[in-house]
Chain A
Amino acid sequence: MAFESLTQKLNDVFKKLRGKGKLSEADVKQAMKEVRLALLEADVNFKVVKDLISKITERAIGQEVMESLTPAQQVIKIVNEELTLLMGSTQSKVDFSKEITIIMLVGLQGSGKTTTAGKLGKLLSKSGKKPLLVAADVYRPAAITQLKIVGEKVGLPVFTMGQQDPVDISKASIDYAKKHNHDVVIIDTAGRLHVDDDLMNELVNISHAINPSEILLVVDSMTGQDAVNVAEEFNNRLQLTGLILTKLDGDSRGGAALSVKAVTGCPIKYVGMGEKLDDLEIFHPERMASRILGMGDVLTLIEKATADFDLKKAQELEDKLRTQSFDLNDFMDQLSQVKKMGSLDQILNMIPGFSPQKLKGVEIDDKELSRVEAIINSMTLEERSNPSIINGSRRKRIAAGSGTAIQDVNRLLKQYAQTKKMIKQFAGSDKSRKRSRQRLPFFNF
């Protein structure tokens, strides 16, 4: 997860501050020096850092702070507030007011426009829109094919006209969208350098021809000091409406995220969090700030859970729990529900108090779930609904069938038994409010 290292560095600075009862001006200055280095190492633009540090210092050596009972806490609070302010304080939504919402994706080469186009299309179609993807990258070899394949994977139509003029392609795609009742058009443009005059003019021409609701700049979160120059230039030419930050699942410290917003004033609207076509999230600045400061992100977790859980299945499960007829089939349903929410380490990152540093060295094995699936799939229907009949020779067969060891099968059956026992307690505990403190056997990593 990005920001980890910045978080860690800031925490180190704060720790030193906390140890002090009284703060002198020199203490604050020293701390600010370290904050400055931490931010610079995180690729925050040096101009932005300069502004930020002088703002924080000014506030921090003011009387209010120095005379308060806990000056260190006050300083930390000020740093947090200023960082949050930098990222913007409220979520900015995509403008869907027009009949057809045209979204243009622009950016440097390799920032991830084509993949993002697919992800964005999928995200919007989940919320009931009918997006059309448009292949306007006529320069890079096989870019059109790539978008076609991505479109197929997410189940969305792709409008192509071969290697023609991107302005004509864009215009034609809007007519096509009108005819075929699409309410969102996502235009994938070719990657280009912000100093390439001809290609930048091409973007301006497209924009004039189709008057898009949104022009989003796709920025690689690993970009260095140059991110600001790029964003400024694109913004001057095109009046960007927002940014999409990609590859945030690496360990980049994401300083670009902090600076670009500060310098251009363009809000970050979406962030790419992984390689799968589901891994695009709406950006919530306040939540991201709390992630940077190590406070977890429960809201996103809850949203993910509610968006991906199947309501009907949940209802069925509730009935089963009530009648206590929870069998291995249901067990597997539960597992696949968890799997749908994304990879386990992504989920864990959103849990407050779950610092990634603590997890260092622990490999979270997503394959564990597939193994369990394989074991259950190797059972007969009868065995699944009535696991008590699974004896020694059946275990042997299941292990062989699923390519696992007998021990794995045993472990699974034990976990199932524990889960069932717990469910019994839940179902029967209506009278006595005493909740069992047992943890779900599947989350004891």
Chain B
Amino acid sequence: MAFFDKLKQSLSKTRESFSEKFDNILKFNKKIDEETFEELEELLISADVGVSTTQMLIEKLKENSKKITTAEELKAVLKEEIMDLFPKENISLTYPTVMLVVGVNGVGKTTSIGKLANIYKNQGKKVILAAADTFRAAAIDQLEIWAQRVGVDVIKHQEGADPASVLFDALQAGKARKADLIICDTAGRLHTKKNLMDELKKLYRVCQKEYPQANVVSLIVLDATTGQNALIQAKMFKEAVNFSGIILTKLDGTAKGGIVIAIASELGIPVWYIGVGEGINDLHEFNSQDFVDAIFA
């Protein structure tokens, strides 16, 4: 299974350190005692799983630990607990769809959109990109280069233009050209800037108002290296554009991506895609089974 291998490979750094540590802990603590759990707790926290989710997982482990005597069993239980946290949902789009891609600065929105466009174009969909990041210097150029690579159309205005009007034009173009999917790039914004979050809400409203026949789907892009702040980001963006899924980028580094576990546990939001590199094919559908397997393999 090619996808599984790729994920395994990209998570190998995560896996090595995670698994190694895990095995080490169990080697040096043959008996499962309080210290074992303390070290496991540290391990999860160092993977950015977050304090409250970690404590919850450890509590559950403790409850079940009376029956557990071997390391292998403990591993299997922990794996199962983590798996259970992920919502069981598949990506299903009904066309036409307008996809709003949102997130804080520098998480990889534009790059992810390029890769997304490639995925859907390969599925035989007609894709149009809307360059509504009119704030950051050269963001429009960057999206255009991606559009050329993939071979899709892009609707753009000048830098500094009103993002809502770019989206409006893209919606009109989408209707006229009978596009299946309109993917809208937005400027990176910190979730604490109220006026910028309001601007996002406006984009969402424009979609609903101008293209009521279409299905509006928002996706948030999160950087795997982000720590606990990703939780707050997810909450705030959820309020603004009620996104349905997460794109988790930069999983090819040493970042453990544990924040996904925290988000799944606390907010119940599924991960749709993961980004594992800078190439055009480095975006994959997220699969919790594979994800957890790859971590513990």
Say whether A41 contacts B106, CB under 8 Å.
no
- Which residue in chain B gives the minimum CB-CB distance to A191? B106
B209-236, CB < 8 A from A: 223, 225-230, 232
Known: A43-B227, A153-B137, A250-B229. 14 other contacts (CB 8 A): A108-B250, A141-B141, A146-B137, A146-B141, A146-B142, A195-B13, A224-B227, A224-B228, A224-B230, A225-B256, A226-B48, A226-B225, A226-B253, A250-B104
Q: How far is the CA of A99 from the CA of B250 in the complex (A)?
A: 39
- Which residue in chain B gives the minimum CB-CB distance to A41? B51
Contacts across chains A and B counted by CB atoms under 8 Å: 136
Task: Judge whether B252 is part of the interface by a CB distance below 8 angstroms.
Answer: yes
Say which one of A251-259, A306-314, A435-443 lies at the interface with B.
A251-259
Q: How far is the CA of A45 from the CA of B194 in the complex (A)?
A: 30
Q: How far is the CA of A112 from the CA of B227 in the complex (A)?
A: 17
A220-B51 contact given A46-B42, A142-B142, CB 8 Å threshold: no
- Which residue in chain B gives the minimum CB-CB distance to A45? B46
Task: Judge whether B108 is part of the interface by a CB distance below 8 angstroms.
Answer: yes
Question: Interface digits, A94-117 against B, CB 8 Å rule (1 contact, 0 not)?
Answer: 000000000000001111101000
Measured CB to CB, the residues of B under 8 A from A are 13, 42, 45-48, 50-51, 104-108, 135-139, 141-142, 144-146, 159, 190-192, 194, 223, 225-230, 232, 250, 252-256, 259, 278
Say whether B253 contacts A46, CB under 8 Å.
no
Number of interface residues of A (CB under 8 A): 47
Report which of A111, A145, A194, A224 forms a contact with B141, defined as CB distance below 8 A.
A145
Say whether B255 contacts A109, CB under 8 Å.
no
- Which residue in chain B gives the minimum CB-CB distance to A152? B137
A109-B45 contact given A141-B142, A141-B145, CB 8 Å threshold: no
A118-154, CB < 8 A from B: 139-143, 145-150, 153
Task: Judge whether A76 is part of the interface by a CB distance below 8 angstroms.
Answer: no
Q: How far is the CA of A151 from the CA of B268 in the complex (A)?
A: 43
Q: What B residues does A350 contact at CB under 8 A?
A: none
Q: How far is the CA of A227 from the CA of B192 in the complex (A)?
A: 22
Task: Judge whether A422 is part of the interface by a CB distance below 8 angstroms.
Answer: no
Task: Judge whether A198 is part of the interface by a CB distance below 8 angstroms.
Answer: no
A43-B229 contact given A222-B104, A226-B254, CB 8 Å threshold: yes
Say whether B51 contacts A250, CB under 8 Å.
no
Say whether A40 contacts B141, CB under 8 Å.
no
Say whether B45 contacts A194, CB under 8 Å.
no
A43-B253 contact given A110-B106, A146-B138, CB 8 Å threshold: no
